[in-house]
Amino acid sequence: MLVIPAIDIKNGHCVRLQQGRMSKETVYSDNPVEVAIRWYEEGAERIHIVDLDGAVGGRPVNHRLVEEIARSVPVPIQLGGGIRDLETMETCFQSGVEQVILGTLAIRHPDIVDLACRRFPGRIIVGIDARNDRVAIEGWTEETGFTPLDLAKKFEQSGIAAIIYTDIHRDGMETGPNVENTEKLAKALNIPVIASGGISGLDDVKKILKLHEIGVTGVITGKALYDGNLDLAQAIALVKSTKCN
């Protein structure tokens, strides 16, 4: 299992939002590249990046920064936010991104997700962001009628690399992850699940770690790292000591 630090980019800055609200941001750095290097030096084996401006605008906005991060750290980058077509995916991969995260596209055009899995095998992740057990899209501004399991099941045979499950109510709040729903999703699928949202410290990493046996392969953490409530190196050491990699 991997502990994956998150870098959310808005207006060129590294920020964290509360429950996905663009108006509830805290700026932690004006240099996301330096932040990525820091997480790599602390042991990160993968970095999660979200282009928040792209998520709301429907197309990537912070492409230059993402490309610079990919050049600066020798670990895989997974990127989400405004990736809505095959051409954009191709551009991301050419810029050094290892995997792209598709959210809105999975609802609007699932056929394109299927095609992307065939064209870019092993490089497509579906991001499932839920509020009150309903999937939200368009930068979390629009709620759909799909449950996380409904959506995940649509892609079980498509060849996606993983599902990232985020409980929006917990994201950026450090109130603890939604272990129950993460477990339910992982048990029902044959796709690896990455947990996201609500991590407040090492104890929460331990809770997710217990789900490794049922297919949870990673945990994304952001605000707890930036606030100093979670030590990345310590969390990675914990995971490695349990031989979950």
Q: Which residues are catalytic?
A: 8, 129
Secondary structure (3-state) at 221: strand
* Burial class of residue 142 in the structure, from the number of CB atoms within 10 Å of its CB (0-12 exposed, 13-18 middle, 19+ buried): exposed
* Contact partners, residue 13, CB within 8 Å, separation at least 6: 27, 28, 29, 30, 32
Q: Are 236 and 39 in contact (CB under 8 A)?
A: no
Handedness of CA 100, 48, 30, 18 (dihedral sign): positive
Torsion of CA 23, 28, 31, 32, to 10 degrees: -80
Handedness of CA 8, 19, 222, 144 (dihedral sign): negative
- Measured CA angle at 56 (ends 123, 105), to 5 deg: 40
Q: Are 43 and 64 in contact (CB under 8 A)?
A: no
